[in-house]
């Protein structure tokens, strides 16, 4: 009998290279997850096109239409999600913070990828800050999402060297390659847990 797969909603705000890595991983029949929805808060985000090209349903919930009313924005997201049977929400470059109220509805069911070795360099401009501090390693972390930003339990972490002459861009590119490996690995771990 075919193994059950966990059903994912991927949230993004931009180009969607991590979403693409997940789309590609899910093409493997042995991969224990499938993407049932890609949702963006930014109309025309590049990641939406990637999903459409892969035949995955997409939705846009534009936060700007809610004029700062976060509860209404998140309510609209919940409304979209309610049409799907979702096991796990994967944030992949989703540039909105989800509230405690939202996260309570999805206990241990929201994960994120962050471009640093957490708990170092939470927030933005991670590569710039790591280089400025003279660090010799950077990396990425897949972690559970909790109300405090970039603070949830770590699922997978990958480290890369920071080389002499690195710029935030060259380091970002080296880290991104590892992100694309780390996120599918984290999903295998999550699927094991959820399907057990």
Q: Which residues bind ligand GRF (CB under 6 A)?
A: 12, 14-18, 47, 92-93, 113-115, 140, 176, 179
What is the spatial distance between Cα 180 and Cα 127, in angstroms, rounded to a whole number?
17
What is the spatial distance between Cα 51 and Cα 101, in angstroms, rounded to a whole number?
28
What is the spatial distance between Cα 190 and Cα 102, in angstroms, rounded to a whole number?
20
What is the spatial distance between Cα 187 and Cα 91, in angstroms, rounded to a whole number?
12
Least separation in angstroms between CB 153 and ligand GRF: 17
Least separation in angstroms between CB 13 and ligand GRF: 7
What is the spatial distance between Cα 57 and Cα 169, in angstroms, rounded to a whole number?
32
- Our CB check for ligand GRF shows the closer of 74 and 150 to be 150
Q: Residue 125 — left, alpha, or beta (φ > 0 → left; ψ -120 to 50 → alpha)? A: left
- Our CB check for ligand GRF shows the closer of 32 and 115 to be 115
Q: With CA atoms as reference, report the closest residue to 171 among 142, 132, 139.
A: 139
Least separation in angstroms between CB 159 and ligand GRF: 14
Q: Tokens for 159? A: 């480290």
Least separation in angstroms between CB 172 and ligand GRF: 7
* Pairing mode of beta strands 137-144, 110-114: antiparallel
* Pairing mode of beta strands 58-60, 33-40: parallel
- Our CB check for ligand GRF shows the closer of 86 and 172 to be 172
- Our CB check for ligand GRF shows the closer of 6 and 38 to be 38
Q: Which of 114, 127, 143, 180 is catalytic?
A: 114
Give catalytic status of residue 180 as yes or no. Answer: no
Which residues belong to the active site? Answer: 114
């Amino acid at each position: 009998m075919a193994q059950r797969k966990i059903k994912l909603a991927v949230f993004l705000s931009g180009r969607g290279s991590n979403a693409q890595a997940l789309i590609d991983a899910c093409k493997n029949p042995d991969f224990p997850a499938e993407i049932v929805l890609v949702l963006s808060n930014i109309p025309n985000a590049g990641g939406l096109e990637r999903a459409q090209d892969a035949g995955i349903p997409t939705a846009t919930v534009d936060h700007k239409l809610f004029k700062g009313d976060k509860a209404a924005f998140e309510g609209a997201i919940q409304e979209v999600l309610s049409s799907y049977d979702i096991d796990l929400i994967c944030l992949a470059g989703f540039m909105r913070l989800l509230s405690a109220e939202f996260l309570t509805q999805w206990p241990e069911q929201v994960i994120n990828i962050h471009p640093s070795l957490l708990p170092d360099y939470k927030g933005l401009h991670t590569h710039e800050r790591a280089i400025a501090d003279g660090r010799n390693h950077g990396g990425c972390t897949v972690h559970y999402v909790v109300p405090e930003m970039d603070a949830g339990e770590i699922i997978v972490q990958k480290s890369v060297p920071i080389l002499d002459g690195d710029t935030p861009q060259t380091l970002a590119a080296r880290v991104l390659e590892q992100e694309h490996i780390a996120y599918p690995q984290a999903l295998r771990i999550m699927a094991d847990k959820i399907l057990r």
